[in-house]
Amino acid sequence: MYLLWLRVAAILYAAGCVAVFPAVLSNSLSWRKICVHLGGMAFFFHFVSVVEMLIQEHRWMPVGAREVESLLGFIVAGLFFLVWWLYDAISLGIFALPATFFLLFVPSLGPDRYHFPSEGVRISWLVAHIIALLLAYAALCFSLLASVMYLVQERRIKAKLKTSNSRRWQPFDWLPPLDTLERIALATLEFGFPCMTVGLLIGSVLAQETSLGAAYFRDPKVVASFFMWLVYVALLLVRRSAGLRGRRAAYVSGAALVVMIAVWAANLVSHVHRFGPQ
């Protein structure tokens, strides 16, 4: 029965993850209440699941990777709600709630490895995993490109003002307005984030059928991918909450691109993501 409560908690955590972003990035009071209520219910069912699991197994401490992951997620969520209660700092939820969901997702699949119904289903999930991550990386590249174009357009406008608004044709007259470039940069960034999240979740499911087990998540590219996800969250948070735009936004996007390149470079030392002969 504890597995049922764990799955309910995972669903509620997922809903809380969706609510926490508008709550933090847009400072919406209604979303803030929804996030706290969903997260609170998830935490309650998570607590029931952990207690029932330990009682059922007649022990006081978790045993096995999945039980440890579930308990670690419970601790992360508990610390978040403690900080929120003491300091009303819901901003930490943008990291804590997704982290808790990631930790809870795999244990909620069951005590044993998840097996796909057929090889065709597994390949479909693998294709979806690759496409989702490629979309995320492409969106990040478009965001960086729009930010760079913003810098070029901004410099052109300043140069025109200094030359008494010269109407003479210039090489970059085709560039869109600054506001359009800024909206493109932010929209592509926001589009890529759910793609990366879905890609990582599908990858976690696919990992269950490998012979590596928990060692899969110590693979360099897997670690780098999750770090890339954290960078993505931080980039969204900084751009939205600090109103980052223009030159500074381009620099931050450039730093994120460096991390993305490092993720791809990690493929060279990865044991589970190599292409071609092993």
Lowest mean pLDDT among 10-19, 123-132, 200-209: 200-209
Q: How far is CA 229 from CA 177, 192, 220, in A?
A: 30, 10, 14
Residues 6+ away with beta carbon under 8 Å from 171: none
Which is more confident, 162 or 155? 155
Q: What is the pLDDT of residues 193-235, one digit of tens each?
A: 888 888 888 887 777 665 555 555 566 667 777 777 888 887 7
Q: Which of 96, 97, 13 is nearest to 49 (CA)?
A: 13
Residue partners of 198: CB distance under 8 A and separation at least 6 = 128, 132
Q: Which amino acid is at 235?
A: L
Residues 181 and 227: beta-carbon distance below 8 Å:
no
What are the extents of the domains in the chain? Answer: 2-108, 122-269
CB count within 10 Å of CB 251 equals 12
What's the whole-model pTM score?
Answer: 0.72
Phi then psi dihedrals of residue 100, to 5 deg:
-65, -40
Q: Are the C-beta atoms of residues 55 and 26 closer than 8 Å to each other?
A: no
Please write the tens of the pLDDT for every residue from 246-268: 667 677 766 776 777 776 666 65
